[in-house]
Amino acid sequence: MTGVETLIGDITYSNDFPDEYVTFYSSTLTNVTGDLLLYGAGGKVTKTPGDLNITLPALRTIYRLAAYGGWGDVSINTDPTLNVSQGLQISSGASQSAAGNLYLNVSSTYSIGVLGVDFQATGGALFTSSAESVKREITIWGNSGLERVVLDNLKFVNYTVDIRSNPDLDYISLSLPEVGLLRVKEKGRDTHLSVPNLKKLGGHSDPGTHTSGGDAGGIFRDLVNASLPSLTEVHGDDVDWFKGKLNFTSNFFSELSLPIPRLNYVKDLQIHDNPRLLNFTANLLKKADNINMTGPFTNVEFFSLEIITGDFYLAGDKTMDCSWFDEHFLNHIVQGSYKCVGNHTKPAIERKPSTPTDEADLEDGDSKQGGSSSSGSYGGLSTGAKAGIGAGVGVAGLILLGLGAGFLIGKKAKKPPGAVTHTTESGYQKAELDGDGEPSSGVKQVHSVEASEMQDTGKSELPLNAARAELAG
């Protein structure tokens, strides 16, 4: 295809050599008004299928780019500024996918999707990307063998990050500072989630799908650890059709505690069916619309809450102290209905918070730990800290990737996540069963396959009858 700059119409290629490498290359092709579709051998494959390499360094616009069925490793190398109007799609078709690690080299995309892929990397597969901006959404659904998702360059995702139904997933790391909806659920029961820079959930709406899934905020299930040290605000969408949920349901937290140290506002806090979660703290929280929490809690702390505009319902262990909530929330902070199920003693026992109640103390605690934020360890509480209320005691697969890709499915071994241990500074009343462990990503750089690495015998040109296209150049 070298020599052609613009192609009006579609290009379709069907591979009749199932066991050989195929390279599709052009150094000049800049614009394709239609689709580039490459079909693998599909049902013809009798052993591991050959690899596909697409290298189009000059390409800037194309309507759709897709590879279907019967390929082994797939490498797509383009300029990061490539505009793919309807996304990039990879499907393993009727053959067994041999996908290993997946690397997407792109700076800005319309959307990223990894759907229904049967990953088979030795020791577990990794999906990672250099993407910084995603204009619409990230969807990672229904992938077997995928154990790590590491998107540590993300600075912007507008509507949704949706990670669900990945049975082997055990580590997720996202660097984004805000998103309309973050949904992580329906996985194995041993997944660690780290979102260290996330400050805001909600506040976005998609006019087409209304925040892509009919929700806003954060929904978290099937986790053993959730690290949200910077989360400050949880809103509904910007037209207020959906509540800004912060929902933790059916998790099996290994640390038995869940601190949200910087949370200042939440529209709707929901925490249910977490059998090991005994300790919850949000001591910078000042305003909520509704709070509904049930579980075996022995310690719940909202020491800075000033107003709940709706309802408050808290049901914990029979030893959990409700006396502070009875005295200070009922008829004072809660404007809607109020109920606390636990131990009601009179007079109420004075309590101290186990985490800071203002940002200055929190920052001071972070600096004492070398500038890193910890979900379970803090510095001393100032004498002017506000007193408050605490309750104590594939076969067939599909990948959709938007706007520009240097996308590699390789074969690299997994390095399991480790653990980083934090120290605890004195100065606060220690909450029961408090602690923090944050796994490291263990991510190795995955290198793209260049066109020059492909076997010469696999070099393929489009057959003349493969596409009806008008060439302009």
pLDDT of 124-168, one tens digit each? Answer: 888 888 888 888 889 898 888 889 999 999 999 988 999 999 999
Are 241 and 161 contained in the same domain? Answer: yes
Are 374 and 291 contained in the same domain? Answer: yes
Per the domain annotation, does 138 fall within a domain?
A: no
Number of domains in the chain: 2
Q: Are 127 and 148 in contact, with CB atoms under 8 Å apart?
A: yes
- pLDDT score, position 425: 38
Separation between Cα atoms, residue 271 and residue 264, nearest integer Å: 17
Are 168 and 87 contained in the same domain? Answer: no
Residue 394 has pLDDT above 80, yes or no: no
Are 348 and 401 contained in the same domain? Answer: no
By mean pLDDT, which of 33-42, 232-241, 402-411 is the weakest? Answer: 402-411
Q: Are 417 and 441 in contact, with CB atoms under 8 Å apart?
A: yes
Residue 203 has pLDDT above 80, yes or no: yes
Are 1 and 108 contained in the same domain? Answer: yes
Q: Mean of the pLDDT values across residues 66-81?
A: 71
- pLDDT score, position 70: 64
Helix (H) or strand (E) holding 360: helix 359-368
Per the domain annotation, does 344 fall within a domain?
A: yes
Q: Is 208 exposed, middle or buried (0-12, 13-18, 19+ CB in 10 A)?
A: exposed
- pLDDT score, position 280: 98
Per the domain annotation, does 130 fall within a domain?
A: no
- pLDDT score, position 182: 95
For residue 76, which amino acid is it? Answer: I
Q: What percent of the chain has pLDDT over 70?
A: 65
Are 10 and 55 contained in the same domain? Answer: yes
Are 51 and 186 contained in the same domain? Answer: no
Are 257 and 361 contained in the same domain? Answer: yes
Specify the higher pLDDT residue, 443 or 118.
118
Specify the higher pLDDT residue, 417 or 153.
153
Q: Mean of the pLDDT values across residues 209-214?
A: 51
Per the domain annotation, does 80 fall within a domain?
A: yes
Separation between Cα atoms, residue 324 and residue 312, nearest integer Å: 14
Are 369 and 401 contained in the same domain? Answer: no
Per the domain annotation, does 381 fall within a domain?
A: yes
Residue 395 has pLDDT above 70, yes or no: no
Instruction: Tell me the residue range of the domain where 72 lies.
Output: 1-118+397-414+449-473
Tens digits of per-residue pLDDT, 362-377? 877 666 655 444 333 3
Per the domain annotation, does 83 fall within a domain?
A: yes
Are 315 and 342 contained in the same domain? Answer: yes
Per the domain annotation, does 364 fall within a domain?
A: yes
Are 356 and 234 contained in the same domain? Answer: yes
Are 105 and 74 contained in the same domain? Answer: yes
Tens digits of per-residue pLDDT, 299-343? 999 999 999 999 999 999 999 999 999 998 998 999 999 999 999
Give ∠ CA 5-39-409 in degrees, rounded to 5. 85
Per the domain annotation, does 355 fall within a domain?
A: yes
